[in-house]
Amino acid sequence: MRILVLGGTTEASTLARLLAGDVRFKATLSLAGRTNSPRPQPIATRIGGFGGVPGLAAWLAAERVDAVIDATHPYAAQISANATEACRQVGIPLVSVVRPCWQPVAGDDWHEVASADAAALAIGVMPRRVFLGVGRQELHRFAIAPQHHYVARVIDLPAGERMPPDMRLIQARGPFEREAERALLADSRIEVVVTKNSGGTATFAKVEAARDLGLPVIMVRRPGKPASHVVSNPEEALRWLAEVRSPSRRGV
């Protein structure tokens, strides 16, 4: 069975590992090409956009793909919309791995906002010291609130876009540890943390550290992401694939 995994996440890397060791499947991992040096993967990997729905549909047909796993990030809404439509056009099944959201616990001071722009405004008028854990692609949005001091963590450095004037960049790739995150926030005298609700364990430590230090968290809400069959982890996606593949399900 030929599988396309749309990746760029921990789940996609786990799927690549699981699929590499499974003779029932011949899988390709697709990455957008956002990171300069992605981790090497044990299955065939292609990098770069397909060219919208028509490009993806043509690729799926040309490669005779039997099923697609959408294991993209919860905030990568465009590729998921494209995958849903392309799979519909080609007539193949799609399963989406959607990590559960992080949930606040008693005592947490979370402020949910709809976008990075809204997050920038929600920090407030008075200058504050802000930790940005929203990814490189959103940093330029904070230029509308130039009065703050920002500490932003990124995998690759931003290029080209206008950034807020007072921003310190820290280049690092998760997973991150709670204690180290607490030290980072305390040493940088951070007053507020801004993050996406990415879910998963790799980047949760900054939220736990904010909890430990009693800091408010501005949480950018997830966008609506189109999906067909939803599972919450890679193992479930593989079980679903095995079901789709089995003769009892064919023609259903």
Binding positions for ligand NAP, rule: CB under 6 A? 6-9, 30-32, 34, 49-52, 55-56, 72-73, 75-79, 82, 135, 196
Structure tokens at 16: 């690549």
User: To 5 degrees, how large is the angle CA 142–CA 147–CA 149?
Assistant: 75
Residue among 43 and 182 whose Cβ is closer to ligand NAP: 43
Select 191 or 217, whichever has its Cβ closest to ligand NAP. Answer: 217
Backbone phi and psi for residue 232, each to the nearest 5 degrees, phi listed first: -105, -5
Cβ 139 to ligand NAP shortest distance, Å: 12
Closest separation in Å from C-beta 165 to ligand NAP: 24
CB of 18 to ligand NAP, least distance (A): 18
Q: Tell me the longest C-alpha to C-alpha distance in the chain.
A: 64
Sequence-ordered list of residues with C-beta below 8 angstroms from that of 66, at least 6 positions apart, any chain: 1, 2, 3, 92, 245
- In 3-state terms the chain splits into helix, strand, coil percentages (rounded to 5) of 35, 20, 45
Q: How far is the CB of 251 from ligand NAP (least distance, A)?
A: 30
202 vs 25, 79, 177, 215, CA distance in Å? 27, 22, 9, 20
Q: How far is the CB of 81 from ligand NAP (least distance, A)?
A: 8
Q: Phi first, then psi: what are they for 236, rounded to 5°? A: -65, -40
45 or 188: CB nearest ligand NAP: 45
Q: Which is nearer to ligand NAP, 8 or 199 (CB)?
A: 8
In angstroms, what is the minimal distance from the CB of 50 to ligand NAP? Answer: 4
Q: Which one, 10 or 151, has the nearer CB to ligand NAP?
A: 10
The residue with its CB nearest to ligand NAP is: 49
Could you tell me which residues are beta bridge partners of residue 69? 5, 95
- What span, in angstroms and rounded, lies between the C-alpha atoms of 239 and 235? 6
Q: Nearer Cβ to ligand NAP, position 9 or 182?
A: 9
